[in-house]
Structure 1
Amino acid sequence: MKINDEILFEVEDGGIAVITIDRPQARNAINSGVIEGLRLAWQRFAGDAALRVAILTGSGDKAFCAGMDLKQAAATGLRIPPRDMFPILGDAVKLDKPVIAAVNGVAYAGGFLFAQMCDLCVASDNALFGITEAKVGRGMPWAAPLAQMLPQRIMMELLLTGAPMTAARAHQLGYVNAVVPLAELRDTALGMARTIAANAPLTVRAARELVYLSSEMGRSAALRAAYPLFDSVYLSEDAQEGPRAFAEKRAPRWSGR
């Protein structure tokens, strides 16, 4: 189904939502329709308990997202973007379910941001990642979390030169989980999503939170915070269902309770 003219929202078997930026004629650049459509798509995903994992991708075979629609930005005279202008996961948008970026071409500027904000990332072998704001005199405050994802000098290179990084290099550096031929990208992302969705949802959510919590704390503080994070998991019905299903040699029936 279409959220609006720019965003598609599909539901796949296994509790998977596929959210697609659908402006291939403009390399899926971010305009006001993309911003509003993504905001509504994240709300739909968050509010549907049957949906466990989302995939964010772009239409076509050239671009995941080429960044801000600079023609629209020039026409509106955009200066400092409001903090909540963009539907950034972990900032303006709060989610407790995992999201996979399926990067099907260039991911520049705001497109890099959209890949960065997801929990996991798979890329086609023609994908390019670039933080190109220095080339057009704009800013990238959203890149701050990248310091937890890439070495300092790689981050400096990306921000100061604006030069793109290949999917192969991004994978070598640990920024991308897998690189595959473009024709295999959707199936690869769906396979990863279904593997996650088949796991206990409470454990998945707590584990996701653990990763982000640990990135903001030292070792000892993270350990102290992590133990109570899983109390509700250990006390859940699913914590009994998992071992019971294993003993009975059947697939677990997760209730999320």
Structure 2
Amino acid sequence: MADILFSIEDHVAEITINRPDKSNALNAAVREGLFDAFKRANEDPECRVVILTAAGSRVFCAGADLVEMAALGITTPPPDYMPVLGKNVAMDKPVIAAVNGAAMAGGFLLVQMCDLVIAAQNASFAITEARRGRGSPWAIPLTKQLPRRVMTELLVTAEPMSAVRAHDLGFVNALAEPDALMERARAMAKVIARNAPLTVRANLRMIRFADDMGVQAAERVADEIFQEVYLSEDAREGPLAFKEKREPVWKGR
């Protein structure tokens, strides 16, 4: 069986880590498969939204495959060791993490890098590197996603945070019963896919620039980002469809 499953339907790509017997740990095959799957989704003109999930009902991803890591003698991971959206993987479409269980270490990273998160009620989140003598420099974006003391707690205790608490803190967008997780994630993806793709992508770019710079500088960049949107065929199609009382037909141009 493939370690990564990929499918696309109705403008929604689904990427599934498929090593449930190994806690969906990130061995070389999984990491390479994720690189390929994200690239495929980003380059497919039919894809407007991506859902990242994992097989099984207990663990979303336990992080790095420590058995493989020990065998290879990996010390400092190279820059291309893990696929990280916006860092070493280009992705201009929204990515929804559908978290079906425990997301630990590198599994936490996979959730952290996504734009939206739907979690099963029994899911949990942990940065466990302190238990293994490893490092988590990738956790820096959490300074924009969680309160400082919560981030500190996760890093220094290595204890898990429940999905309910993560939702209360705004790290998770919505909770779902385990057997309804994918239904909930697909419903959100369907809503996004119905919207104008150029506007959705521009909104993502604006948010990412705002994360990396001050408000005033980000506002100037946002004006530039949306020029393409305002001048597009889709920008004329939206009001016209409203006037004609029909669903818009987006062309992405």
TM-score under structure 2 length normalisation: 0.98
Paired residues of 2:63 and 2:104 also in contact (CA < 8 A): yes
Question: Is 2:70 aligned against 1:108?
Answer: no
**Aligned with 1:160 (options 150, 156, 162):** 156
Structure 1 consecutive aligned stretches of length 4 or more whose deviation exceeds 4 Å? none
**C-alpha separation between the residues in 2 aligned to 1:166 and 1:199?**
32
**Aligned with 2:198 (options 198, 202, 207):** 202
- What pairs up with 1:139-150 in 2 under 5 angstroms? 139-150=135-146
Deviations 1:142-192 (A, max 9, x none): 111110101111111101110100000000000000011001100100000
Hey, what does 2:209 align to over in structure 1? Answer: 213
Question: Is 2:52 aligned against 1:56?
Answer: yes
Hey, what does 1:238 align to over in structure 2? Answer: 234
Hey, what does 1:68 align to over in structure 2? Answer: 64
Tell me the CA shift for residue 5 of structure 1. Answer: 2.1
Paired residues of 2:27 and 2:65 also in contact (CA < 8 A): yes
Question: How large is the RMSD of aligned CA atoms in angstroms?
Answer: 0.8
**C-alpha separation between the residues in 1 aligned to 2:203 and 2:39?**
22
**Aligned with 1:36 (options 32, 36, 60):** 32
**C-alpha separation between the residues in 2 aligned to 1:210 and 1:149?**
16
Deviations 1:107-152 (A, max 9, x none): 0000000000111000000101000000000011111111010111
Q: What secondary structure is seen at the aligned counterpart in 2 of 1:252?
A: coil
**C-alpha separation between the residues in 2 aligned to 1:17 and 1:102?**
13
Deviations 1:82-105 (A, max 9, x none): 011111111110111110000000
**Aligned with 2:180 (options 179, 184, 209):** 184
Deviations 1:178-223 (A, max 9, x none): 0110011001000000100100000000001111111122221121
Q: What secondary structure is seen at the aligned counterpart in 1 of 2:186?
A: helix
The code of the aligned residue for 2:107 comes to G
Tell me the CA shift for residue 233 of structure 1. Answer: 0.2
**C-alpha separation between the residues in 2 aligned to 1:202 and 1:179?**
28
Question: Is 2:215 aligned against 1:226?
Answer: no
Hey, what does 1:9 align to over in structure 2? Answer: 6
Deviations 1:25-70 (A, max 9, x none): 0110100010111111011101110011010001000011011111
* Count of equivalent residues: 253
TM-score under structure 1 length normalisation: 0.97
Paired residues of 2:39 and 2:90 also in contact (CA < 8 A): no
